[in-house]
Structure 1
Amino acid sequence: VIAHDLKTPMYALRNLFSNMQQQNMSAEEIRELVPGIINEMNFATSLMENLLVWARDQMKNASAQPEQLPVAAMTADVFKLLRLQAASKQISLVNQLDENVSCYADREMIFLVLRNLLSNAIKFTPVGGTVSVSASQHHGKTSIHVRDTGVGISEHSKRRLFHTDYFSTRGTNDESGTGIGLMLCRDFLIKNNGTIYVQSQPGEGSTFSFVLPVNATP
């Protein structure tokens, strides 16, 4: 399945260039095809990044290397990475995090968690929507919330999200997915003494939250 998903955008690009060469396509015809190909390439890039991280983790059986993380600054960095994906759907990215909010975890693993959750939020939010990140701290734990104004998730789908059967659905612009990103989120959060959960109703958007220690455990 994953090999097929990686090949699909490459075939789309090949077909576009072949048609441009053989059929003398007009500029308007090319413009109509480009958005769909961009969506497929965004998906392939994200999938390859996830696979590389997963493979490295498997080879090293990597353990977390925790440190104090500035959550607001990390979120701003992820926003920069995903700004074109959001702009293609006119989605607003809102960082509601206080600069003093932090957690104690592995930087690379939590960056991947944020990137996957935010990319998914953009994927399932229609044109003109909003994706925001906020946080709360209670009893030595930092809870980070990724909210969207998207299509929401049914109870049946929520039960399958973090399982190992690569469950995924297509986004509001027909974006692809495999489900491997959420599996990595779950596994990396477990390595950092964290948890993840989702609150959602169909048609009312979703909030994915993950919880991590504020400081090192004595």
Structure 2
Amino acid sequence: MLGVLLTNSYFFIGLGLLVALTISGWYLAYRYHRRYHQFKHQFAGVQHQYAVQQEELRSALEAQLSQQDQLRERNRELENYDTFKTKVFSIISHDLRSPINSVLGIMDLLEQGHLSLEESQHYARKAKVRVQVTLEMITNLLHWARNRMQSIAPKPSSFDVTQLTDQLVDIYGPIASEKGVTVENLVKAPQCGFGDMEMITVVIRNLLSNAIKYTPTGGTVTLELMTQTECVKLSVKDTGLGIDASTKQSLFETQMSSKPGTSQEKGTGLGLMLSKEFIERNGGSIAVESQVGEGSIFCITFPKESPQSMLSPTVSV
């Protein structure tokens, strides 16, 4: 009887211990699970805070980089403006004064009345050439200055390329003749182009003027037009001095100085740089082929339109 009681006592004690261990296990598992979720929640909060801080740092870094870019751009603008002022003052003080003084000297001779009619006509033609060259220099200077101060947006329209070249040859033919240079205009067939006519006029005028400037007496300047599928290709060829390889590399840069022509003609040094900017803004291109002593060929391309859709605006040069 006593043995049975002891056995039952051990059974209930074991059962109680088992229940206690089970409850303790469940409780510990609950505590662990709760703490795990608390830690997970806290970790998620830390991760979120870290992500927010990282985004704030990224934004601050981007803002700082943007400010640095703005400062660099501002510095470039200031440097360009200083270069702009220096170039303008140099042109005004040197390049423009010389031809103006030359014209004044011719006017003094004419005013004195000691010249024959033939001599007067000769000097009048010289004065006209000097005025035309000076006007071209001033025009280039004004275009360049305006282009530096504000970006000029092209105003494209259809125009008659043949009519434009005819008018430019009419203007520069007498200048070339005075120098003993022949201008051949092979642009005969009707051809239309599409672009800002004023800009393209500046480009062709500069190329024609330069060709005459660097061609010696007895030489020839030739304008020729080649029609391609989607563009017009105009070339200005001369039998002048030619250009060496090192000069060609920087020919279209702003800092390029103008060399005196074969008759010591001066220029602003802005024509080719301005021509490149203007032709590219009209969806075209400019290229040069040249060798020293063999002359040069400058080619420009710009969009064209079919003759049926061509308009007929008045050409202004």
Q: Same fold (TM over 0.5)?
A: yes
Residue 193 (structure 2) aligns with: 103
Give the distance between the partners of 2:226 and 2:299, measured in 1 at CA.
10
Identity of paired residues, percent? 34
| CA deviation vs aligned residue, 1:57-91 (integer Å, no higher than 9, x gap) | 45563211112222111100101111221110222
**Which consecutive residues of structure 2, in runs of 5 or more, have no partner in the other structure?**
1-89, 307-317
**1:2 maps to 2:2:** no
- The answer to whether the Cα contact below 8 Å between 1:64 and 1:192 also exists between their aligned partners in 2 is yes
**1:11 maps to 2:101:** yes
Residue 208 (structure 1) aligns with: 298
**Which consecutive residues of structure 1, in runs of 5 or more, have no partner in the other structure?**
none
- The answer to whether the Cα contact below 8 Å between 1:94 and 1:131 also exists between their aligned partners in 2 is yes
Give the distance between the partners of 1:192 and 1:146, measured in 2 at CA.
19
User: What is the number of residues matched between the two proteins?
Assistant: 212
Cα RMSD for the two superposed structures: 2.8
1:136-175 to structure 2, matched below 5 A, reads 136-175=226-265
**1:194 maps to 2:284:** yes
Residue 176 (structure 2) aligns with: 86
Correspondence for 1:114 among 204, 217, 230: 204
State the secondary structure of the residue aligned to 2:179. coil
Structure scoring higher RCO (CA < 8 A, sep ≥ 6) equals 1
Indicate how the Cα distance of structure 1 residues 191 and 15 shifts in structure 2: closer, same or farther if over 3 A, else same.
Answer: same
| Structure 2 letter corresponding to 1:207 | I
More strand by share: 1
Indicate how the Cα distance of structure 1 residues 27 and 52 shifts in structure 2: closer, same or farther if over 3 A, else same.
Answer: same
Cα displacement (A) at 1:161: 1.1
Give the distance between the partners of 2:130 and 2:96, measured in 1 at CA.
9
Cα displacement (A) at 1:159: 1.3
- The answer to whether the Cα contact below 8 Å between 2:144 and 2:270 also exists between their aligned partners in 1 is no
Give the distance between the partners of 1:14 and 1:62, measured in 2 at CA.
35
Indicate how the Cα distance of structure 1 residues 178 and 51 shifts in structure 2: closer, same or farther if over 3 A, else same.
Answer: closer
Cα displacement (A) at 1:92: 1.9
- The answer to whether the Cα contact below 8 Å between 2:141 and 2:268 also exists between their aligned partners in 1 is no
Give the distance between the partners of 2:115 and 2:190, measured in 1 at CA.
50
| Structure 2 letter corresponding to 1:161 | L
Residue 82 (structure 2) aligns with: none
Give the distance between the partners of 1:91 and 1:159, measured in 2 at CA.
27
Correspondence for 1:133 among 192, 200, 223: 223
More helix by share: 2
Residue 76 (structure 1) aligns with: 166
1:29-40 to structure 2, matched below 5 A, reads 34=123, 40=130
| Structure 1 letter corresponding to 2:181 | I
Indicate how the Cα distance of structure 1 residues 18 and 75 shifts in structure 2: closer, same or farther if over 3 A, else same.
Answer: closer
State the secondary structure of the residue aligned to 2:158. strand
| CA deviation vs aligned residue, 1:183-216 (integer Å, no higher than 9, x gap) | 1111111110111010011111110001112249
TM-score between both structures, scaled by the size of structure 1? 0.84
